[in-house]
Structure 1
Amino acid sequence: MKLDLSEIPKSSSKSNNKTGLPVWLLGLGMERLRVDMNRLLALLFHQGVLDEQFIQLQQLQDDSSPNFISEVVNIYFNESDKLLRNLTNLLMEKDLKVDYKKIGMHINQFMGSSSSIGAKRVRNVCVDFRAASEMANRFGCLRALEMVEHEYCYLKNNLHEYFHLEQQLALAAIIRYPIQN
């Protein structure tokens, strides 16, 4: 595997003064990447963003499926984006006749998929959303949709960061350049 170093922005990581290469390319930053990944996950667990289901997903990843978690989570993101669009469209009907049964079905699907990847806070705000839809409370649904979108974006941004660190770590494990004197 050949890597074109000109395509890697030098500002993406700290660089070694002698080579100008990012530290992780030299293999020196691998431990730092591991620490950053662990800190990010610990923060997400501490905040209640993730739960033990995410750990169970991690345990399913192995050498035969090294991208298992990122693939499952990306499927979740793609499906969730569609569900959020559908929920928004249902709540923004012009004739003010909201189909709360359909909203409830979408929320249940969103809750289930969020539970399956360990997205605890997203799942929890979906519970409030479902309650508002069962009471046919349009204002409550709109407020709950806003909360779901907020928690979902927070989860998505942090998991994207986690997977970015994971990719850097994988590259650092494969590609090592000798330090020049």
Structure 2
Amino acid sequence: MEKEEEEEEMVGTTLSQQLRNYIQTMHDQGILDHHFDHVKSLQNEENPQFVMEVISMFSHDAEIGISQATEFLNCVVDFAKVICFVHQLKGSSSSIGGQRMAMACRELRHACDIRSKERCLEIFGRLKQEYNTLHECLNTISQMERTIIANETRRRQP
């Protein structure tokens, strides 16, 4: 029985290390920055799903915002509404550590300031790509977190 527990503990350690390595790779690629580390540091035993909850809220809000921005950029561009959307999205992507996405938001804001529909559409396309990349990264992190939590829960059961 002890050998089984040791193996489960090793799997948990391995998964935790894989998660740390994955997050470091996302840092190295500029997808995540130190703000994500801050979010991760707020997770504890009392709230082991904190990171997953923050990721879920971010993804939900970003998808709604991107959908709305798509409407604002069609036909006659409502630059004021796009600026409002991009301000919110920049804040939420910065808060979760989405460095490249936040940068794309800043560029979209600049394109709105100069009232260039063509530039807005071009940058908005890139912003959506950055969101998809960040979303995929955050989903992977959530899946790894879920597995780690499930393994820890199993290990604690008698």
Query: Structures share a fold, TM > 0.5?
Result: yes
Conserved in 1, the CA contact under 8 Å of 2:52 and 2:145? no
Deviation at 1:60, TM superposition (A): 1.3
Aligned to 1:165: 144
| Identical counterparts, % of pairs | 25
Deviation at 1:35, TM superposition (A): 2.3
SS of the equivalent of 1:175 reads helix
Does residue 111 in structure 1 map to residue 93 in structure 2? Answer: no
Q: 1: CA distance between counterparts of 2:46 and 2:55?
A: 18
Conserved in 1, the CA contact under 8 Å of 2:55 and 2:142? no
Deviation at 1:152, TM superposition (A): 0.7
34, 37, 45: which one pairs with 2:27? Answer: 45
Aligned to 2:53: 71
Deviation at 1:50, TM superposition (A): 1.0
Aligned to 1:149: 128
Larger Rg: 1
SS of the equivalent of 2:148 reads helix
Paired letter, 1:131: H
SS of the equivalent of 1:29 reads helix
Q: Deviations over 1:51-89 (max 9, x none)?
A: 111111112111221111111121111110011001111
Aligned to 1:122: 101
How many residue pairs are counted as aligned between the two chains?
149
Conserved in 1, the CA contact under 8 Å of 2:48 and 2:149? no
Q: What's the TM-score, normalizing by structure 2? A: 0.88
Q: 1: CA distance between counterparts of 2:12 and 2:121?
A: 44
SS of the equivalent of 2:30 reads coil
Does residue 83 in structure 1 map to residue 29 in structure 2? Answer: no
Q: 1: CA distance between counterparts of 2:94 and 2:127?
A: 14
Deviation at 1:137, TM superposition (A): 0.8
Q: Compute the RMSD of aligned alpha carbons.
A: 1.6
- Structure 2 alignment gaps of length 5 or more: 1-6
Q: What's the TM-score, normalizing by structure 1? A: 0.77
- Structure 1 alignment gaps of length 5 or more: 1-25, 177-181
Deviation at 1:32, TM superposition (A): 2.5
Q: Deviations over 1:127-146 (max 9, x none)?
A: 11111111111111111111
Q: 1: CA distance between counterparts of 2:53 and 2:149?
A: 16
Q: 2: CA distance between counterparts of 1:61 and 1:171?
A: 16
Describe the shift of the 1:62–1:33 C-alpha distance in structure 2 as closer, same or farther (beyond 3 A): same
Aligned to 2:13: 31
